[in-house]
Amino acid sequence: MKALFVIPFTTGVVFLFSALAVLYISWFRKIGWKNQVRMKNAVSWRWFIRSLKEVFSESLLHLRIRKVNLRLWYMHMSLATGWFLLIVAGHAESAYHSGTIFTPMSHATFLDYYSRGETPDGWIAEAFNHLMDLLLLFVLSGLMLAVIKRFRARRLGMKKKPRHQTLDRLALIFLWLIFPARLLAESLNHAFYGGGGFLSSALGGLIHPDPGYRFLSDAAWWVYSLSLGAFFVVLPFSRYMHILTEVPHIFLKNAGTRVIADEGIAMFHAHACSSCGICLNTCQLNDAGKAMGQSLNFVRNYRKPWPVKEEQTMNCLMCGRCRIRCPVQVDTAGLRMNERFRHHSGMLHEYSYLEDKRVRVRPARVAYFGGCMTRLTPSIPQAMKKIFMASGEDFAWVDEKESICCGRPLYLSGQLDAFHELIRHTRDRILECGPELIVVSCPICLHTFSQDYPFRIPVKHHSQYLLELMDRQVIRPVRTGIRTVYHDSCELGRGLGIYSEPRRVLEQITHLQNPDFRDGDGMCCGGSLAELELGFPEIQLIARKTIKDLTSPDTQQLVTGCPLCKKTFHAAGLLPVLDISEAVAAALVSVPAEAERSLSSCAVS
C-alpha cells in the first residue's frame, strides 16, 4: 500500500493503450480495398526490415531533420532517443535487480523508489545508475532546447513557429514536467536513502535536506507519476499522438498505400504529424501574408472529427514543398485533396456542349496540346509552331480553334465527378487526329495526362520534345549567351520530376546560371490554380520573392516551362520572362521560307 503514487501512472498507461487500440482498430477498418491489396502485396522481409530501419532512423534519430538544422535535430533526437533509451535501460536495470525480464512497468519506471536503501552490489548495478543519469541528462539537454525554441524559435533555425492549441499546450506542460520531476524525485530519493548515479546523487548532496523532511521524496515521486499519467491521458487527443503513430505510419507508407480517397490511411498520416513546424518555414504563403491554410494548421484540423473550414482547405498553392520537407513524409497534399473532395465532389456539371462535331482536327503524327494557359500566352504556341515547321514535323494543334481544359483545376478544387466527365471529352478531342505522340506545353495538363488519362501513346512536355529534336540535330539553334535562370515549375519539377531536360536545352543555347538543381527545391510562382483564397496583390508578393530568390543582379532573362508561371512572373515586371520554346525559337536561324510565310499569315488568338 505504500506505493500508492503509481496509480496515476498505471491509470494513464491503461487509458493510453485502450485509446490506442480503439483508434487504430477503427482506422484499420476504414482502409479501402485498394490499399488492402497494396498492403498484402507489400508484405515481405525486405519491406519489414526497410520499415524497421526507417523507424529507427526517423522516429528515434530523426535524420531528415538533420538536413534542416543541427540544433533542431539535436532537440528532436535527444528527446525521442533519450526517452526511448531511458525506458529500455530502465527495464534492463529492473530485470537485473529482480532477476526476471517480466517485471511490471511501474517497477521499471520507479525503480529507484523500490530499491531505496539498497546499496548497489557490483559494478553492473553501479554502471546502470550512471547510465540512467546520463540518459536523463541527454533528455534534459533536448528539453532545454525545446524551451528555447518556444521562446526564441530563430535560435533553432525556425523563422515561424507553430501556434499550438489548448490540448497540445496542456500535453506540452506535462511533457516538460516529466523529466525535471524525475530528476528531482531521484535526487531527493538518493539524498535521503543513498545511492544514485553521478547526477542524481550529486544533486541530492547539494540539496542536503533534513532527515525529518522525508515526505518530500514521496511527494516528488507523486509529481513524477502524476505528470506521466496526465501526459498519457492527454496524448491520444494531442499532437503527441505522433510518437506512437509514426511506427504504423512508416510501415503503411512503405507498403505503397495512398492517402487519396482512403480515410483509414489518411488518419494514420494525419496523426503521424508532429506539428514540428518545418512545413511552415518552407511554405511560400508566408510571403503572401495569408497563410491560414498552411499544412500544419490544416493537418491539425483534419485530425478533428468535424470538417476543416473551406477557407483553410482552399488556401494552399499545392506546390508540394511541405510534403518534400516533412520529416515523417506526411502526404499533406493527399490529405488536402481528400478534404476538397469532401467539400465539392458531388457538384453538378454539364459538358455536353463540348461534343461539337464541327470542331475537327486533321490527322497528324504529333498532337500538340497547348492548354488553356497558352491561350493567354499566345507567343508559346506560336514559337512551337515555328519549331514544328522548322523540323518538318507533321503536327496538329488540337486546341487551336477551341480551348478545352485538361480538368486539373476541377480535380484540384475537389470536383471529382466533373473532372472525370471532362477528361472524357478532352481525351476524345486529342485522339481524334490519331497521333503517335502528344506534345504538351502546359505542365499542369501534362501532369493530368500522365496520371489520370488512359493514353497508350507517349505524352511529352515540349522541353523534352525540344531536347529530342536538338539531340537528333533536326533543329540547330545557335547559342545566344544570354545570362539565363531557369525556373522549375511545381508541376514539372516536383510533380513530374522533369528537371534535367529543360536545363540541357537551355545550356546549349544560353548561358544558364543555375544548371544544378536539388530535387524538390523549386519555388512556386504563386499563381497556382489550386489556390482559391489569394488575390492578385498577394500572388504578386510571392512571384516577386521567387524571382528575387532565383535570380542574381546580372541575370538577363528568366526562362520557365509553364505558361501560367510565365504569365504570373511577367506581371511582376522585374525582368523579361520567356518560355523555353520561345528561347529555342528565337535561337533558330535556319527556318524554311515556307514556315516563315505560314507563321506570318497564321493568326494566333
In the complex, the residues that contact other proteins under the rule CB under 8 A are: 310, 314, 343-344, 346-351, 353-354, 356, 372-373, 375-376, 402-405, 407, 409-410, 413, 415, 418, 422, 527, 529, 532-533, 535-537, 564, 567
Decide whether 149 or 340 has the Cβ nearer to other proteins: 340
Give the SS3 label for residue 304: coil
Give the SS3 label for residue 12: helix
User: Are 485 and 555 within 8 A, CB to CB?
Assistant: yes
The Cα 455–Cα 245 span in angstroms is 39
Decide whether 311 or 549 has the Cβ nearer to other proteins: 311
The Cα 561–Cα 178 span in angstroms is 53
Would strands 577-579 and 437-440 be described as parallel, antiparallel, or unpaired?
unpaired
Smallest gap, in angstroms, from Cβ of residue 184 to other proteins? 54
Decide whether 438 or 564 has the Cβ nearer to other proteins: 564
The partner residues of 155 in beta bridges, in order of sequence, read none
**How buried is 157 (Cβ within 10 angstroms: 0-12 exposed, 13-18 middle, 19+ buried)?**
middle
Smallest gap, in angstroms, from Cβ of residue 539 to other proteins? 9
Would strands 511-512 and 483-487 be described as parallel, antiparallel, or unpaired?
parallel
Smallest gap, in angstroms, from Cβ of residue 10 to other proteins? 48
Decide whether 51 or 415 has the Cβ nearer to other proteins: 415
Decide whether 454 or 535 has the Cβ nearer to other proteins: 535
For the chain, the maximum distance between any two Cα atoms, rounded to a whole number of angstroms, is 106
Decide whether 35 or 426 has the Cβ nearer to other proteins: 426
Using alpha carbons, select from 17, 5, 14 the residue that is nearest to residue 225: 5
The Cα 383–Cα 378 span in angstroms is 9
Q: How many CA atoms lie within 13 A of 292 on its CB side?
A: 11
Smallest gap, in angstroms, from Cβ of residue 422 to other proteins? 6
Decide whether 325 or 567 has the Cβ nearer to other proteins: 567
DSSP 98-165: HSSS---HHHHHTHHHHTTTPPP-SHHHHHHHHHHHHHHHHHHHHHHHHHHHHH-GGGGT-SSPPPP-
Decide whether 42 or 532 has the Cβ nearer to other proteins: 532
Smallest gap, in angstroms, from Cβ of residue 548 to other proteins? 22
Decide whether 69 or 403 has the Cβ nearer to other proteins: 403
Would strands 557-560 and 483-487 be described as parallel, antiparallel, or unpaired?
parallel
Smallest gap, in angstroms, from Cβ of residue 361 to other proteins? 15
Residue 413 carries which DSSP code?
Answer: H
User: Are 347 and 418 within 8 A, CB to CB?
Assistant: yes
Decide whether 294 or 426 has the Cβ nearer to other proteins: 426
Smallest gap, in angstroms, from Cβ of residue 81 to other proteins? 46
User: Are 156 and 79 within 8 A, CB to CB?
Assistant: no
Smallest gap, in angstroms, from Cβ of residue 298 to other proteins? 18
Using alpha carbons, select from 512, 505, 511, 517 the residue that is nearest to residue 465: 505
The interaxial angle of helices 166-193 and 198-207, nearest 10 deg, is 80
Backbone angles phi, psi at 218, to 5 degrees: -65, -40
Smallest gap, in angstroms, from Cβ of residue 353 to other proteins? 4
Decide whether 327 or 527 has the Cβ nearer to other proteins: 527
The interaxial angle of helices 295-302 and 332-344, nearest 10 deg, is 60
Decide whether 216 or 529 has the Cβ nearer to other proteins: 529
Q: Does an H or E element contain 511, and which?
A: strand 511-512
Torsion from C-alpha of 510, 439, 445, 567, nearest 10 degrees:
40
Smallest gap, in angstroms, from Cβ of residue 322 to other proteins? 22
Smallest gap, in angstroms, from Cβ of residue 372 to other proteins? 4
Give the SS3 label for residue 557: strand
Smallest gap, in angstroms, from Cβ of residue 463 to other proteins? 22
Decide whether 57 or 451 has the Cβ nearer to other proteins: 451
Smallest gap, in angstroms, from Cβ of residue 287 to other proteins? 18
Decide whether 188 or 372 has the Cβ nearer to other proteins: 372
Residue 241 carries which DSSP code?
Answer: G
Decide whether 329 or 560 has the Cβ nearer to other proteins: 560
The Cα 70–Cα 515 span in angstroms is 28
Residue type, 572: A
The Cα 449–Cα 491 span in angstroms is 12
Q: Does an H or E element contain 512, and which?
A: strand 511-512
Smallest gap, in angstroms, from Cβ of residue 349 to other proteins? 5
User: Are 500 and 494 within 8 A, CB to CB?
Assistant: no
User: How many residues are listed for the chain in this entry?
Assistant: 605
Smallest gap, in angstroms, from Cβ of residue 563 to other proteins? 10
